[in-house]
Amino acid sequence: MALAGLFNLEVYALSLSAGSLTDDTLAMLFAGLPSRCIVLLEDVDASSVKRTPDTPADLSSSTPSLLLRPLSPALPPSSSTKANVSFSGLLNAIDGAASREGRILIMTTNHRERLDPALIRPGRVDLQISFKYASRNVIESLFLNLYDVDVGDREALRIPGGFPSVDKILELAREFGRVLPEGVFTPAEIQGLLLLHKKDPVAAVGAAGEWAREKRAEKGAAEEEAEKEEKEEGVNGVKPSQDIGVMEIVLPNGV
Protein backbone atom coordinates (compact mmCIF):
# COMPACT_ATOMS: atom_id res chain seq x y z
CA MET A 1 0.00 0.00 0.00
CA ALA A 2 2.95 2.33 0.61
CA LEU A 3 4.13 1.76 -2.97
CA ALA A 4 0.63 2.39 -4.27
CA GLY A 5 0.49 5.69 -2.41
CA LEU A 6 4.00 6.69 -3.48
CA PHE A 7 3.40 6.10 -7.18
CA ASN A 8 -0.36 6.82 -7.14
CA LEU A 9 -1.21 3.37 -8.51
CA GLU A 10 -4.18 1.05 -8.04
CA VAL A 11 -3.54 -2.39 -6.54
CA TYR A 12 -5.07 -5.51 -8.10
CA ALA A 13 -5.04 -8.82 -6.20
CA LEU A 14 -5.14 -12.08 -8.15
CA SER A 15 -5.77 -15.53 -6.69
CA LEU A 16 -4.04 -18.26 -8.67
CA SER A 17 -6.07 -20.83 -6.72
CA ALA A 18 -9.41 -19.71 -8.16
CA GLY A 19 -11.06 -22.77 -9.70
CA SER A 20 -12.34 -20.91 -12.76
CA LEU A 21 -8.95 -19.45 -13.70
CA THR A 22 -7.40 -20.76 -16.93
CA ASP A 23 -4.54 -19.75 -19.20
CA ASP A 24 -6.96 -17.86 -21.44
CA THR A 25 -8.70 -15.99 -18.62
CA LEU A 26 -5.37 -15.17 -16.99
CA ALA A 27 -4.08 -13.67 -20.26
CA MET A 28 -7.37 -11.79 -20.70
CA LEU A 29 -7.23 -10.41 -17.16
CA PHE A 30 -3.66 -9.19 -17.55
CA ALA A 31 -4.51 -7.65 -20.92
CA GLY A 32 -7.38 -5.74 -19.27
CA LEU A 33 -5.22 -4.21 -16.57
CA PRO A 34 -4.32 -0.51 -16.68
CA SER A 35 -0.91 0.25 -18.13
CA ARG A 36 0.22 1.62 -14.75
CA CYS A 37 -0.82 -0.44 -11.71
CA ILE A 38 0.39 -2.90 -9.09
CA VAL A 39 -0.55 -6.59 -9.42
CA LEU A 40 -0.34 -8.68 -6.26
CA LEU A 41 0.06 -12.47 -6.34
CA GLU A 42 0.08 -13.67 -2.73
CA ASP A 43 1.45 -17.03 -1.53
CA VAL A 44 2.52 -18.19 -4.99
CA ASP A 45 4.08 -21.30 -3.42
CA ALA A 46 0.66 -22.41 -2.14
CA SER A 47 -1.02 -22.35 -5.55
CA SER A 48 -1.39 -25.43 -7.73
CA VAL A 49 0.48 -23.79 -10.63
CA LYS A 50 3.54 -25.97 -11.19
CA ARG A 51 5.80 -26.89 -14.10
CA THR A 52 3.49 -29.50 -15.66
CA PRO A 53 2.03 -30.05 -19.16
CA ASP A 54 -0.70 -27.60 -20.09
CA THR A 55 -4.16 -28.66 -18.97
CA PRO A 56 -7.14 -28.08 -21.31
CA ALA A 57 -9.67 -25.75 -19.73
CA ASP A 58 -13.12 -24.44 -20.50
CA LEU A 59 -13.21 -20.66 -20.84
CA SER A 60 -17.01 -20.49 -20.61
CA SER A 61 -17.04 -21.05 -16.83
CA SER A 62 -14.67 -18.18 -16.09
CA THR A 63 -15.68 -15.08 -14.14
CA PRO A 64 -12.86 -12.56 -14.65
CA SER A 65 -14.43 -9.84 -12.51
CA LEU A 66 -14.17 -12.09 -9.45
CA LEU A 67 -10.64 -13.28 -10.16
CA LEU A 68 -8.83 -9.99 -10.59
CA ARG A 69 -10.03 -7.03 -8.60
CA PRO A 70 -8.84 -3.91 -6.86
CA LEU A 71 -7.46 -4.80 -3.44
CA SER A 72 -10.41 -3.17 -1.67
CA PRO A 73 -13.05 -4.42 -1.15
CA ALA A 74 -11.65 -7.92 -0.75
CA LEU A 75 -13.48 -10.95 -2.07
CA PRO A 76 -12.79 -14.50 -0.88
CA PRO A 77 -11.11 -16.69 -3.49
CA SER A 78 -12.75 -19.90 -4.59
CA SER A 79 -11.07 -22.96 -3.11
CA SER A 80 -13.47 -25.66 -4.24
CA THR A 81 -11.36 -26.74 -7.23
CA LYS A 82 -7.77 -26.47 -8.33
CA ALA A 83 -6.72 -23.78 -10.76
CA ASN A 84 -6.36 -24.78 -14.40
CA VAL A 85 -3.49 -22.41 -15.11
CA SER A 86 -0.37 -24.00 -16.57
CA PHE A 87 3.12 -22.92 -15.58
CA SER A 88 3.84 -21.63 -19.09
CA GLY A 89 0.55 -19.72 -19.03
CA LEU A 90 1.59 -17.95 -15.85
CA LEU A 91 5.03 -17.07 -17.27
CA ASN A 92 3.51 -15.73 -20.48
CA ALA A 93 1.10 -13.54 -18.53
CA ILE A 94 3.91 -12.14 -16.38
CA ASP A 95 6.41 -11.22 -19.07
CA GLY A 96 5.22 -12.63 -22.39
CA ALA A 97 4.72 -10.76 -25.64
CA ALA A 98 1.47 -9.21 -24.36
CA SER A 99 2.99 -7.86 -21.13
CA ARG A 100 3.12 -4.08 -20.69
CA GLU A 101 5.69 -1.67 -19.37
CA GLY A 102 4.79 0.47 -16.38
CA ARG A 103 3.23 -2.34 -14.35
CA ILE A 104 4.64 -3.52 -11.01
CA LEU A 105 4.14 -7.21 -10.18
CA ILE A 106 4.57 -8.28 -6.55
CA MET A 107 4.64 -11.97 -5.57
CA THR A 108 4.83 -13.14 -1.97
CA THR A 109 5.84 -16.50 -0.53
CA ASN A 110 6.73 -18.06 2.80
CA HIS A 111 8.76 -20.81 1.11
CA ARG A 112 11.07 -19.45 -1.56
CA GLU A 113 12.79 -22.84 -1.86
CA ARG A 114 9.58 -24.34 -3.24
CA LEU A 115 9.37 -21.93 -6.19
CA ASP A 116 10.48 -23.01 -9.63
CA PRO A 117 13.73 -21.22 -10.54
CA ALA A 118 12.21 -20.20 -13.87
CA LEU A 119 9.56 -18.17 -12.06
CA ILE A 120 12.05 -16.04 -10.14
CA ARG A 121 15.02 -15.94 -12.50
CA PRO A 122 16.83 -12.59 -13.03
CA GLY A 123 15.01 -10.55 -15.65
CA ARG A 124 11.66 -11.98 -14.65
CA VAL A 125 11.96 -10.93 -11.01
CA ASP A 126 14.06 -7.79 -10.63
CA LEU A 127 14.17 -7.53 -6.85
CA GLN A 128 13.80 -10.04 -4.02
CA ILE A 129 13.23 -8.80 -0.47
CA SER A 130 13.47 -11.17 2.48
CA PHE A 131 11.58 -10.24 5.63
CA LYS A 132 13.56 -11.65 8.53
CA TYR A 133 13.13 -11.54 12.29
CA ALA A 134 14.04 -8.29 13.98
CA SER A 135 17.71 -7.50 14.58
CA ARG A 136 18.87 -5.34 17.50
CA ASN A 137 18.95 -2.26 15.28
CA VAL A 138 15.38 -2.91 14.16
CA ILE A 139 14.22 -3.44 17.75
CA GLU A 140 15.74 -0.15 18.83
CA SER A 141 14.36 1.65 15.77
CA LEU A 142 10.84 0.42 16.52
CA PHE A 143 11.17 1.79 20.04
CA LEU A 144 12.42 5.17 18.82
CA ASN A 145 9.76 5.43 16.11
CA LEU A 146 7.06 5.30 18.78
CA TYR A 147 8.61 7.22 21.64
CA ASP A 148 11.04 9.72 20.09
CA VAL A 149 8.50 12.57 20.01
CA ASP A 150 9.45 16.20 19.53
CA VAL A 151 8.80 18.39 22.54
CA GLY A 152 6.50 20.59 20.48
CA ASP A 153 4.32 17.62 19.48
CA ARG A 154 3.86 16.15 22.95
CA GLU A 155 0.94 18.38 23.87
CA ALA A 156 -0.88 17.67 20.61
CA LEU A 157 -0.40 13.92 21.14
CA ARG A 158 -1.51 14.22 24.78
CA ILE A 159 1.72 12.80 26.08
CA PRO A 160 1.47 12.67 29.91
CA GLY A 161 3.70 14.81 32.11
CA GLY A 162 6.95 13.28 33.26
CA PHE A 163 7.58 11.73 29.85
CA PRO A 164 11.32 10.92 29.52
CA SER A 165 13.64 13.36 27.79
CA VAL A 166 15.12 12.69 24.37
CA ASP A 167 18.41 11.51 25.90
CA LYS A 168 16.53 9.19 28.26
CA ILE A 169 14.51 7.78 25.35
CA LEU A 170 17.75 6.90 23.54
CA GLU A 171 19.02 5.16 26.67
CA LEU A 172 15.75 3.25 27.06
CA ALA A 173 15.88 2.20 23.39
CA ARG A 174 19.32 0.65 23.91
CA GLU A 175 18.07 -1.13 27.02
CA PHE A 176 15.02 -2.38 25.13
CA GLY A 177 17.33 -3.76 22.44
CA ARG A 178 19.42 -5.57 25.05
CA VAL A 179 16.41 -7.14 26.81
CA LEU A 180 14.82 -8.56 23.66
CA PRO A 181 16.88 -11.19 21.83
CA GLU A 182 17.52 -10.43 18.16
CA GLY A 183 16.50 -12.82 15.44
CA VAL A 184 13.59 -14.27 17.44
CA PHE A 185 10.57 -11.98 17.08
CA THR A 186 8.94 -10.31 14.09
CA PRO A 187 8.72 -6.51 13.95
CA ALA A 188 4.94 -6.85 14.16
CA GLU A 189 5.20 -8.82 17.41
CA ILE A 190 7.49 -6.22 18.95
CA GLN A 191 5.25 -3.41 17.78
CA GLY A 192 2.33 -5.13 19.50
CA LEU A 193 4.25 -5.08 22.78
CA LEU A 194 5.08 -1.39 22.40
CA LEU A 195 1.48 -0.46 21.63
CA LEU A 196 0.44 -1.95 24.96
CA HIS A 197 2.50 0.83 26.56
CA LYS A 198 2.37 3.45 23.82
CA LYS A 199 2.67 6.42 26.20
CA ASP A 200 4.92 4.81 28.80
CA PRO A 201 8.35 3.80 27.43
CA VAL A 202 9.64 2.92 30.89
CA ALA A 203 6.82 0.40 31.34
CA ALA A 204 7.54 -1.06 27.88
CA VAL A 205 11.16 -1.75 28.83
CA GLY A 206 10.10 -3.20 32.18
CA ALA A 207 7.59 -5.56 30.56
CA ALA A 208 9.88 -6.68 27.72
CA GLY A 209 11.72 -9.43 29.61
CA GLU A 210 8.62 -11.30 30.81
CA TRP A 211 6.91 -10.79 27.44
CA ALA A 212 9.92 -12.30 25.65
CA ARG A 213 9.95 -15.38 27.91
CA GLU A 214 6.24 -15.99 27.37
CA LYS A 215 6.49 -15.53 23.61
CA ARG A 216 9.47 -17.86 23.31
CA ALA A 217 7.60 -20.52 25.26
CA GLU A 218 4.61 -20.13 22.91
CA LYS A 219 6.84 -20.35 19.84
CA GLY A 220 8.56 -23.46 21.19
CA ALA A 221 5.24 -25.21 21.77
CA ALA A 222 4.00 -24.21 18.31
CA GLU A 223 7.18 -25.47 16.63
CA GLU A 224 6.95 -28.80 18.42
CA GLU A 225 3.34 -29.18 17.32
CA ALA A 226 4.24 -28.29 13.72
CA GLU A 227 7.08 -30.82 13.66
CA LYS A 228 4.74 -33.47 15.01
CA GLU A 229 2.16 -32.73 12.32
CA GLU A 230 4.82 -32.83 9.58
CA LYS A 231 5.99 -36.24 10.73
CA GLU A 232 2.43 -37.53 10.82
CA GLU A 233 1.67 -36.21 7.35
CA GLY A 234 4.92 -37.59 5.94
CA VAL A 235 6.33 -34.40 4.46
CA ASN A 236 8.94 -35.34 1.84
CA GLY A 237 11.99 -33.61 3.22
CA VAL A 238 10.81 -30.03 2.65
CA LYS A 239 12.37 -27.87 5.32
CA PRO A 240 10.45 -24.76 6.38
CA SER A 241 12.02 -21.45 5.48
CA GLN A 242 13.82 -19.57 8.24
CA ASP A 243 12.62 -16.28 6.83
CA ILE A 244 9.29 -14.74 7.74
CA GLY A 245 8.54 -14.29 4.06
CA VAL A 246 9.94 -13.29 0.71
CA MET A 247 8.54 -10.71 -1.64
CA GLU A 248 9.58 -10.75 -5.29
CA ILE A 249 9.05 -7.56 -7.25
CA VAL A 250 9.04 -7.05 -11.00
CA LEU A 251 9.69 -3.37 -11.68
CA PRO A 252 8.77 -1.50 -14.85
CA ASN A 253 11.47 0.35 -16.72
CA GLY A 254 12.30 3.71 -15.22
CA VAL A 255 11.13 2.91 -11.66
Nearest 10 degrees: CA dihedral of 27, 31, 33, 39? 40
pLDDT, mean of residues 107-116: 89
3-state helix, strand, coil in the chain (%, to 5): 45, 15, 45
Can you give the pTM of this predicted structure? Answer: 0.61
H/E stretch holding 212 reads helix 201-233
More confident site: 251 or 129: 129
User: Domain segments of the chain: what residues?
Assistant: 2-125, 136-225
Between 91-100, 135-144, 178-187, 231-240, the lowest mean confidence (pLDDT) is in 231-240
